[in-house]
A and B are shown apart, each in its own frame.
Chain A
Amino acid sequence: MLKTMGILMVLLGAAGTGGSMALAVYRSNVLLRQLLAAMELLHSELSFRRTPLPEAMDALAHGSQGAVAAFFQAMARDLALRQERSVAVIMRKNLMRSSFTPQARRILQQLGNGLGQYDLDSQLRAVSLAEKRLQERLDEARAQQAGRIRSYCTLGVCAGLAIAILAW
């Protein structure tokens, strides 16, 4: 009886691990979607209202959720504090603290390197580029999402079964 319960627990644990990995894939896609929406909002804020960055970041925070909202809120707060030399420095600091994927961090850091420094056209081009790159990542991730989620789930269950058979 105990043996059966142990095997069931191993099986569930392994399946759970696979499931959580699949969930991480899903979450990273949600994050990319939210970042993309934030970039679209930033583009509008800059092109139609020329909103200064601290206010624009605040608007992005209010228009987002979860980790993305927290990130832009932190950006707005640090910009308002006026302690750092440039947006790039503030962006780097907050990206380090964020839970974003390395790809998303790279895209945002490249955006941050020029943000706030040049004329409006350059700003809009930089935001458009970030949008484009995020869209590419999202398309890639979407294409792989179903397969990866299925793989992680199957792998989890199979690994659990394998351990169960070995332990029997």
Chain B
Amino acid sequence: MYQRKLRQVCSVLPPQLAAMVSQLPPEQEEQLEELRLRCGSEITMVCGGREQPLSLTRPMLCTRDLLEHLVNLASSYSTYAVEECLRQGYLPLEGGHRLGLCGTAVVQDGRIATIKDISSVNLRVAGQHLGCATALLDALGPNPGNVLLVGPPGSGKTTLLRDLVRQLSDRLDQRVGVVDSRGEIAATVRGQPQMQVGRRTDVLTGVPKDQGMELLVRTMSPHWVAVDEITAKADIRAMVRAGYCGVRLLATAHAFGREDWQRRALYEKLRKRKIFTNLVFLDGKRRWTLERVEEGC
């Protein structure tokens, strides 16, 4: 499985870089989380949460040409075909991996039109931990209410959400609609989800979360609607509306623990109206605690 993952990653790398990555020892291969390329600096990788040089014996400098080559390969030499993703600073890759991009943003009418002069790239190797939500789903019971996964960046919210979606769909036979605005949950490439999200799951990509939720509720009549990262008031308004339609919600939110969640103004409406009856707090070590909230209005 790791070898397959590595092959997918290598297929978008320029040949000289692919050769280095394919020579990684098996233990690093398994733990590979990210490849980081910064123009003019040595290429590094993140393995087991630690950033280190890609090769200690043959250090490789990242050049502009290498970055250009990498971005061209990742977009199949067609950045216009992935313009919307580029606006959001990433490129989706086959296998669910993704390329995060940094450079000079071109802003038109107050909106990022594209990113040019790419200066650094973060290739995130996708990892799907099948079964990681089993214990949580058991704890939630047979007929769970709305679930919110709260945790800091890198705490595994999306991974847990993805497996919850998969298990709700396959294990509990529920229809799940996923609004995957940034392609992080299902990682759809040309209509094909690259991650296992379940047999009864419908994925809507490339649409803002609030519009996506409304669209899914209207057209796919899901039992559940899942979204990753509540970041705007519009998302919360759409959730409230979806809740009125009898759809159950599954979402993630950024916060460093319970206190931080209570403090954040963005989530005030969610807290007051008690939209989510199951709050799952994740720490940075992939552990979670479930807190039940009495149902709101």
For the complex, count residues of A whose C-beta is within 8 A of B. 22
Give Cα distance in the complex from A83 to B73, angstroms: 9
CB proximity of A87 to chain B, nearest CB, Å: 5
**B76 with A46: CB separation less than 8 A:** no
Say whether B22 faces chain A, with CB atoms less than 8 Å apart.
no
CB proximity of B78 to chain A, nearest CB, Å: 4
Say whether A117 faces chain B, with CB atoms less than 8 Å apart.
yes
Q: Which residues of A contact B114 (CB under 8 A)?
A: 118-119
**A52 with B78: CB separation less than 8 A:** yes
Give Cα distance in the complex from A12 to B76, angstroms: 53
Q: Which residues of A contact B65 (CB under 8 A)?
A: 85
Contact of B80 among A82, A85, A119 (CB under 8 A): A119
CB proximity of B97 to chain A, nearest CB, Å: 15
Give Cα distance in the complex from A87 to B57, angstroms: 33
Give Cα distance in the complex from A101 to B14, angstroms: 33
**B83 with A82: CB separation less than 8 A:** no
- Decide yes or no: A87 and B72 within 8 Å by CB, A118-B114, A119-B113, A119-B114 being known contacts: yes
Say whether B69 faces chain A, with CB atoms less than 8 Å apart.
yes
Say whether B81 faces chain A, with CB atoms less than 8 Å apart.
yes
Give Cα distance in the complex from A123 to B12, angstroms: 23
Q: Which residues of B contact A86 (CB under 8 A)?
A: 68-69, 72, 77
**A123 with B72: CB separation less than 8 A:** no
Give Cα distance in the complex from A86 to B15, angstroms: 13
Binding site for B on A (CB under 8 A): 46, 50-54, 56, 79, 82-83, 85-87, 90, 115-120, 122-123
Q: 16 new A-B pairs (CB below 8 Å) besides A54-B78, A116-B72?
A: A46-B80, A50-B78, A50-B81, A51-B78, A52-B76, A52-B77, A52-B78, A52-B81, A54-B77, A79-B77, A83-B15, A86-B72, A116-B75, A117-B72, A119-B79, A120-B80
